[in-house]
Structure 1
Amino acid sequence: MDEQRRDGFIEQVLKCRTASGRAELGQALSAVCVRALPDVDGAALVFYIDSRAQELVGASDPWAAGIEEAQYTLGEGPGFAVVAARAPVLVPDLSVDEVRWPVFAGAARGEGLAAAFLFPLQVGAILLGTLGLYRRRPGVLPAEFVSEATLLADLVAHKLLLQNQRMGQEERIWLETSYQDVSMATGMLAVLLQISLEDAFLRLRAHAFAAGRSVLDVARDVLDRTFPLDRLTD
C-alpha cells in the first residue's frame, strides 16, 4: 500500500465525529470502510463479549445490519469464526463455503449476500469484535485489498477504544444498548424455568429461528410479558 493511500485511510477515520454518540460513530466508521474499499456493498462493526453478548456498534446500511443480526440469531457465521481464531475469515463465495455455516449461509444468501470478509477489531491483546465487509457478488480478494482492510480494522479498533476511554464512566459500557435486553430475558427464563443461562439462551434462539424473527425481538416480548413462557418450556 502506498503512503498516500495509507494516510488517506487514517484521515478518513480520524474525521469521523464522536460528539453525536456511539451509534452515529459506528455508522460513520462503517460508511468509511465502504467508501475506502473497492467492491464492498456493506460494512458492519460488532463487539463480542461471548456467544450471548454481542452489540452491533454500527452498520453502513440496514442490509449489512441484517447480516449481523442473522449471525447473532442463528448462532453461526464467519463472525464467530473470527473471534475464535483472532484472525481474518475470508469467504469469497458463500455458496461454496456453505457447509461451514449451513443455516446462516442459507439465510444470508436469501438476503442477497454472496461474499463476506471479516477482520478482527483488535488492539494489542484486546479483541473488541469484528469488522464485517459484505458483497452481493462472489469473488476472491486481491492481496492489496486484504492489506487495506486489515489496516482499516486496526484504525477503527483504535478509534473505538479511544472514544470509549474519553467517555464518562456512566457512558463507558459499550454493551449497554439493545442486546442487554437479550441478557435480561435470558436471565429471566433461566430463573423461571430453573435451567442454565446457556439452555435459556438456546431456547430463545431456537424459537426465534423457528418463528423467522430475531433473538432481540423475542427477548423484548419476554420482557414485555407479551410472550407466553410455556412456549419455551420444551
Structure 2
Amino acid sequence: MELRELIAVMTDVAETLQLPIDLTDALAVITRSAAESVPGVDHVSISVTARNHQIQTLAPTDPVAVRADELQYTLREGPCYEAVHGRPVVQVDDLATDPRWPSYGAQAACLFGLGSQLAFQFEAAPHVRGALNLYFDRPSAIDPETRQFGMMFARLVALALGWARQGETMTRALQSRTTIGQAVGILMERYRLDDDRAFSFLVRLSQSTNVKLHDVAAGIITDTVNHAG
C-alpha cells in the first residue's frame, strides 16, 4: 500500500473517533478498513471479553469471520482464543496442518476454507480485553507488512474502546451485534438465502439507503413482528 492510500485509510478511521463516539460505527470502519488495506486479508473481526469472561464478536466483515470466531469460543482453542487469553500475537501459516490446535485448525480449513490466521491481543480500559482477528483464505499469506498493518489496526481498536464509555456503549455494541444476527436470520428464511448472501443484502440495503446497519436490521425485525401480529 502506498503512503497516500494509508493516509486516506487512517483519515477515514480517525473521523469515526470523535467524541461522543459511536462505538458500533467506529469498530465497523476499522474492520472494514483492515479487510481492504492489510495485504492478503479476506475476513476480519473483533473479539472482546468483559468482566464475566464471556467472549463475543463485534464488527465482523462477513459471516465467515463470525463462524470462525464462534468455533474457537466453543472449542476453547485457536489463535483468537489464545490471543484473548494471553498471547500478544498469534500467527498460523497453515491452519490445516498446524499441530497447536488440531480440532480448530482442521475444521476451519475444511468448513470455512481458511488457510492462515493472525490475531493481535489488545487491552482497553479496565476489564476489556480482546483480539483483532485477521483471516486469510490462502495458506502462508502472512508477511512482515501484514503483521505491521495488523498491529496498527489492533491499536485503533483499543483506542476506540478506550474512548468509548465502557458500560452503556459496550452494551449497545453487543446488542447491535445481536440485532444484526436476528435480521440476517429473518432474511435467510424470507428469501431462502444462505447467511453470506443475507448479510451482504443487509449491508447493501444500509449503503443504498444511507441508514446505519443496526437501524436497518432493527427495522426488518420490527416489520416482521408487526406482520406476524
- TM-score bucket (shorter structure): 0.5 to 0.7
> What SS does the corresponding residue of 1:100 show, helix, strand or coil?
coil
**Residue correspondences, number:** 176
Do the aligned residues in 2 keep the contact of 1:164 with 1:174 (CA within 8 Å)? Answer: no
Contact 1:95–1:105 (CA under 8 A) maintained in structure 2: yes
Matches within 5 A, 1:1-234: 7-16=7-16, 22-49=23-50, 53-97=54-98, 99-109=99-109, 110-123=111-124, 128-164=129-165, 170-173=168-171, 177=175
Q: TM-score, normalised by structure 1?
A: 0.63
Post-superposition offset of 1:73 = 1.8
Distance change in 2, residues 1:124/1:163 (3 Å): closer
Q: Give the letter for the 2:114 counterpart.
A: L
Q: 2: distance between equivalents of 1:157 and 1:20? A: 13
Kindly provide the amino acid, as one letter, of the partner of residue 108 in structure 1: A
> Percent identity over the alignment?
26
Q: 1:100 to 1:90 in 2, by over 3 A?
A: same
Q: Check conservation: 2:51, 2:127, Cα contact below 8 A.
A: no
- Alignment partners' CA distance in 1, 2:123 and 2:51: 15
Q: Which amino acid aligns with 2:15?
A: K
1:125–1:154 distance in 2 versus 1, CA, 3 Å: farther
1:120-143, Cα deviation, whole Å (9 max, x unpaired): 123488762000000111115221
Distance 1:27 1:37 in 2: 15
Shift of 1:15: 2.9
Distance in 1 separating the partners of 2:22 and 2:129 = 18
> Greater helix share, 1 or 2?
2
Using the alignment, how far apart are the partners of 2:122 and 2:52 within structure 1? Answer: 17
Amino acid at match of 1:106: A
CA distance in 2, matches of 1:51, 1:138: 35
If you compute each CA radius of gyration, which structure gives the higher value, 1 or 2?
A: 1
Shift of 1:70: 1.0
Instruction: Tell me the distance in 1 between the aligned counterparts of 2:50 and 2:13.
Output: 24
Aligned to 1:59, what secondary structure does the other structure show? coil
* Amino acid in the other structure paired with 1:147: Q
1:87 Cα deviation after fit = 0.9
TM-score scaled by structure 2? 0.64
Question: What is the letter of the counterpart of residue 152 of structure 2?
Answer: L
Q: Counterparts of 2:22 and 2:125 in 1: how far apart (Å)?
A: 25
What secondary structure sits across from 2:59 in the alignment? strand
1:127 to 1:50, Cα distance in 2 relative to 1, 3 A: closer
> Using the alignment, how far apart are the partners of 1:177 and 1:124 within structure 2?
20
Which blocks of at least 5 consecutive residues in structure 2 are unaligned? 179-229
Q: Alignment RMSD, CA only?
A: 3.3
Unmatched 5+ stretches in structure 1: 181-234
Which one-letter code corresponds to 1:116 in the other structure?
Q
Task: Deviation per CA, 1:127-166: give whole Å up to 9, x if none.
Answer: 620000001111152212211211111012101221235x
